[in-house]
Amino acid sequence: MPASTMSDPAAVRHSPLAELLWPRREDRSFRALRGAILMALGTALLTLSAKVNLPLPYVPMTLQTLVVLMIGAAYGWRLGSATVIAYLAEGAIGLPVFAGPVGGLAPLVGPTAGYLYGFVLAAFATGWLSQRGWDRSVLWLFVAMGIGHVLILGTGFAWLAFGMKLGADKAWLVGIVPFIAASLVKNALGATLVPALRRLFAPRA
Ligand SMILES: O=C(O)CCCC[C@@H]1SC[C@@H]2NC(=O)N[C@@H]21
């Protein structure tokens, strides 16, 4: 377990990647502008990742989980989860940001709604663990992102099984099984990229 998680009081000051690349300042208007720009960048990347998809019955294969988990790790829990909430809000007001062709409220109550809400939990959890030093190591970030993936797939499964009334067996078949292998690959990619970028841009942080 990263030492900072256990006892080091500096853990709470561990900076996520985005802060290393673009440090925060005390100035309130700068902080607001910085937050808005990072959120806009994050929601744009999420939209792009939704559009790279492979249609499957009920739930498409997309790159969204990779981007959600990288946003959590790179932005930290607060800005990371705020970015995902902003993404859902963009969809709710009708922008076509999700995997399907339309935005609006339908996707937020449709078959993939559970995954979409799970994105918020995953960005929060991955960001929280990253800010405790788990983003320094490929192995620990793999675990943190794995927890994120379990939250996304778990909420997606629960919604399909009970919200959409598919039942647990069918929800498992259409909502989990097709995504296990790709989730492991995305997890490994995200967990490799973030520490590598940290080392590249801030070798001593
Ligand atoms: O409608 C959307 O935009 C959400 C699509 C959710 C797809 C889920 S996320 C977890 C799992 N992994 C994938 O590649 N697809 C599903």
The pTM assigned to this predicted structure is 0.94
- For residue 63, the enclosing domain spans 17-201
In a domain, 114, yes or no: yes
Count: domains in the chain: 1
- Give the type of residue at 177: V
Please give the residue that has the higher pLDDT: either 144 or 8: 144
Cβ atoms of 58 and 113 closer than 8 Å: no
Cβ atoms of 12 and 190 closer than 8 Å: no
CA distances from 60 to 13, 136, 147 (A): 38, 32, 21
161-203: pLDDT as tens digits: 999 999 999 999 999 999 999 999 999 999 999 999 999 988 7
Q: Which residues line ligand 1 (CB under 6 A)?
A: 50, 59-62, 64-65, 98-100, 107, 112, 115-116, 152-153, 156, 179, 182
pLDDT of the residue at 10: 46
Q: How far apart are CA 198 and CA 160, in angstroms?
A: 37
Expressed in angstroms and rounded, the spacing between residue 64 Cα and the centre of ligand 1 is 6
pLDDT of the residue at 1: 65
Share of the chain above pLDDT 70, in %: 95
66-77: pLDDT as tens digits: 999 999 999 999
In a domain, 2, yes or no: no
In a domain, 109, yes or no: yes
In a domain, 44, yes or no: yes
Expressed in angstroms and rounded, the spacing between residue 63 Cα and the centre of ligand 1 is 8
Overall average pLDDT of the 37-63 stretch: 98
pLDDT of the residue at 3: 55
Q: 98: domain CATH number?
A: 1.10.1760.20
